[in-house]
Amino acid sequence: MRLTDQVLDNSLGPAAKDFEKVFYNSAMAGSRTRSVILMKHIIESGYLGNSEIYAIDGLAASGLRARRWLNELPSDYAERLRVTICDLNANSLEWAMMNHKQFPPEHGQGILTARQGDLRTAVLDQGWHWVDVDPFGSPMPFLDTAIQSLARRAILEVSATDTAALTGSSRTALLRRYGARVKTDGLAHDSGMRVLLACIARNAARHDRCIQPIMSIWDSHHLRVSMKVIKSVEISNKLEENLGWRISEPNKEETQASIDAKLTPPSSMESLPMHCFLPLSYSVSRKDKRVSGPLWVGPIGDSEVMSSFTEEQAISMCTKKFEKDNLLSWVERDFELQKRKVLRSIRYIEQEAEVADCGNLILTDDLASWLNQGSPPSPNKMIELIKEKGFKAARSHYSKPSFRTDAPWDIIVECLNKSQPPI
């Protein structure tokens, strides 16, 4: 059996942020699983060309993400990978390389190299097709050089664990690091994610690059955004088209401005939505507590990429069939539990692909109270009713019961009324 998240879960356990120790966090296993599936899809799509792929697992710790790329990608994909693991901690790199030697990919393909040093400078050693930035806390200190190091067409994956800042609980940290405000309501996690995307987009534009988000996910304590980064002055010039504000409880004028900017589907003003996006050019007051932003108002995912997150793909690449004599002395049930964990990490992504470009995230608990309805509707029922009306709707990979849709607000209200049991 390969030495991957399953093995580390049992052998290492979570380690402290002590620079002598090798850091490992089992809660990030899902993020690593998604990274493997994402890399397969991107290579398959031809976006990175047909020759070697230079990838850096920038803050590698145990090196597990990089080793999972090499171990779990099919042989003909792994063959093209030239992967570097970078970390300040020499022990981490030594440990990772030792494991790579002891448990190399079964197909024997791909190259793994270690680079000790500070990622902020080490990343500039050469150009990269794939850069992964997975720090303790905020990724902001690493972004500028990471973006400069990217090839003309590249992938950037960024994690952030400074949840309190990004969701607006630590207002000063949010303003200092990200230059934004976030209203601490049910959508705070979505707003925080969009604030981070806006910061990355601005940073990329400074280097004549534009971003195209392909997957953006909150997973328990951390946020992860993955994007294509493309060198293009022309598209970078249009950066501000994708930036704006989120207003909760918008009034008629704000709702109309959002509709006019094509950020909200046209609807009557009989009932006003819970929130809406406004373009960056819309004048908002710094004192207005309803406002979040500046944030990314463009798509936060790519439907083609997200639709590749199928159960079959996850099982075939990231799980092992039961073997009697295995390294961990696991029984059949352990393999089954592991399979479920992998499937949980991709839950709703394939379905959400269809609505990746829909800005309207509706929390069903909030919807019921906003419209003074009794009990919150089931997201699945709402999705069914909205789809019957000919609009797109799908469950969202979000921490609260929710769905994304392109339906106008009138339709959402109509479907909510229909979903309620007769009195």
Ligand X SMILES: C[S@@+](CC[C@H](N)C(=O)[O-])C[C@H]1O[C@@H](n2cnc3c(N)ncnc32)[C@H](O)[C@@H]1O
Per CB under 6 A, the list member of 88, 124, 233, 337 interacting with ligand X is 88
Interface region with ligand X, contact rule CB under 6 A, candidates 23-31, 229-237, 320-328, 391-399:
23-31
Min CB(82)–ligand X separation in Å: 18
> Binding to ligand X by residue 190, rule CB under 6 A?
no
Min CB(30)–ligand X separation in Å: 11
Min CB(108)–ligand X separation in Å: 23
Interface region with ligand X, contact rule CB under 6 A, candidates 58-66, 172-180, 267-275, 403-411:
58-66
Q: Is 334 exposed, middle or buried (0-12, 13-18, 19+ CB in 10 A)?
A: middle
Per CB under 6 A, the list member of 86, 243, 394, 411 interacting with ligand X is 86
Question: How many chain residues are in contact with ligand X, going by CB under 6 A?
Answer: 23
> Binding to ligand X by residue 38, rule CB under 6 A?
no
Min CB(126)–ligand X separation in Å: 16
> Binding to ligand X by residue 34, rule CB under 6 A?
no
If you count them, how many residues does the chain have? 423
> Binding to ligand X by residue 236, rule CB under 6 A?
no
Q: Are 275 and 250 in contact (CB under 8 A)?
A: yes
Min CB(223)–ligand X separation in Å: 13
Interface region with ligand X, contact rule CB under 6 A, candidates 19-27, 232-240, 338-346, 361-369:
19-27
Q: Are 11 and 64 in contact (CB under 8 A)?
A: no
Q: Which of residues 112-151 bind ligand X (CB under 6 A)?
A: 118-120, 134-136
Q: Is 148 exposed, middle or buried (0-12, 13-18, 19+ CB in 10 A)?
A: middle
Interface region with ligand X, contact rule CB under 6 A, candidates 87-95, 277-285, 305-313, 318-326:
87-95
> Binding to ligand X by residue 29, rule CB under 6 A?
no
Q: Are 34 and 345 in contact (CB under 8 A)?
A: yes
> Binding to ligand X by residue 72, rule CB under 6 A?
no
> Binding to ligand X by residue 74, rule CB under 6 A?
no
Neighbours of 171 (CB within 10 A): 14
Per CB under 6 A, the list member of 36, 55, 56, 64 interacting with ligand X is 64
Q: In 155-225, which residue ranges form alpha helices assigned H by DSSP?
A: 163-166, 171-178, 188-206
Q: How far apart (Å, rounded) are the C-alpha atoms in residues 308 and 356? A: 13
Give Cα separations from 268 to 67, 170, 258, 407 (angstroms). 53, 37, 13, 13
* DSSP tag of 236: H
Q: Which of residues 339-358 bind ligand X (CB under 6 A)?
A: none
Q: How far apart (Å, rounded) are the C-alpha atoms in residues 314 and 328? A: 21
* DSSP tag of 354: G
* DSSP tag of 266: -
Min CB(28)–ligand X separation in Å: 5
Q: What is the bridge-based pairing of β-strands 243-248 and 291-296?
A: antiparallel
Contact set with ligand X (CB under 6 A): 19, 23-25, 28, 32, 59-62, 64-65, 86-89, 92, 118-120, 134-136
